[in-house]
Amino acid sequence: GLAVACRRVVHIYRAEGGDVVALSGVDLSINPGEMLALVGPSGSGKSTLVALLAGLMRPSAGRVSVGTYDLGKLTDAEVSRLRGTEIGVVLQGAARNLLPYATLHRNIWLAQRRAARTAGIELDDPERILDLVGLRGKATAKIDELPPGARQRAALAVGIAASPGLLLVDEPTSQLDTHGRDEVLAALETVNHERGTTIVVVTHDAEVGARLGRAVTIRDGRVGAEGRGGQDFAVV
Ligand code: ADP
Ligand code: ADP
């Protein structure tokens, strides 16, 4: 897995009604192979931080690094090569962006082909990827035939199709019942254990946060309390 470091990260949106300071000096270190939950109230800056880690935006100030890459210093082309190869991103609603009438196998294969073109890397067998997310034997199922929890795991499968060292996942369980949620969490745990992938999960769900290794609270654009398993969630 890849290490992640944020140093005095500031992010300001230039909006019509005035500037919005979404992050105001975030310091955060994540070890290779760690699984971490980012929790905090709506509007606290979680999605902004994930977008910076994904290289979808550049910080207004400060440094965001993933592995040996200083994301703010890379060109757009370099960052978009990283995304989809070394950085896997499963944003909110990612399951809706899968090709609904194509099979799981094809959805994974398309992501792999894109990665292979930009970064001649060796790719896993799609069956192996399906195994990791608990969808063994479903390669020929079409996305729109899958129940919501399986669809969300299909989105994870596409996110890890190119074996990223860092996986960023925004609200992976928000639309799911308890069973679906448990399946998605089990899939994330398996990917983390078997591949050593560093995983960052944004969640509103205290139970989800409690099950992941470390929880970091973001509040008003800053890193607040850190806790292990549940301690801090009463106040979130
Ligand atoms: P969270 O993910 O914790 O809900 P966000 O990162 O989405 O928080 O938002 C942090 C702050 O930045 C909020 O005040 C939000 O309204 C603001 N914000 C987010 N995206 C934009 C944008 N594109 N333009 C202006 N303000 C934004
Ligand atoms: P989250 O659920 O992660 O907080 P939101 O639903 O708040 O995300 O935001 C969804 C989208 O709207 C994001 O692309 C975000 O950047 C954008 N957004 C959020 N707040 C604002 C805002 N105040 N002005 C413009 N865009 C915003």
Q: What confidence tens digit (pLDDT) does each residue in 111-144 have?
A: 998 888 877 677 788 999 999 999 999 999 999 9
22 lines ligand 1 (CB under 6 A): yes
> 146: CA distance to ligand 1 center in Å?
32
pLDDT in tens, 55-92: 999 999 999 999 999 999 999 999 999 998 999 999 98
Q: What backbone torsions phi and psi does residue 205 show, to the nearest 5 degrees? A: -90, 110
* Residue 1, both tokens: 């897995």
Which residue has a Cα nearest atom 3 of ligand 2?
47
Single-letter amino acid, residue 84: G
Q: What is the ipTM of this complex?
A: 0.75
87-90 vs 4-15, strand pairing mode: unpaired
> 30: CA distance to ligand 2 center in Å?
25
Which residue has a Cα nearest atom 14 of ligand 2?
47
Residue 228 pLDDT grade (very low, low, confident, very high; cuts 50, 70, 90): low
Share of the chain above pLDDT 90, in %: 78
pLDDT at 234 over 50: no
pLDDT at 212 over 70: yes
Q: With contact defined as beta carbons under 8 Å apart, do 11 and 45 qualify?
A: yes
Please name which ligand lies nearest the alpha carbon of 236.
Answer: 1
> 42: CA distance to ligand 1 center in Å?
9
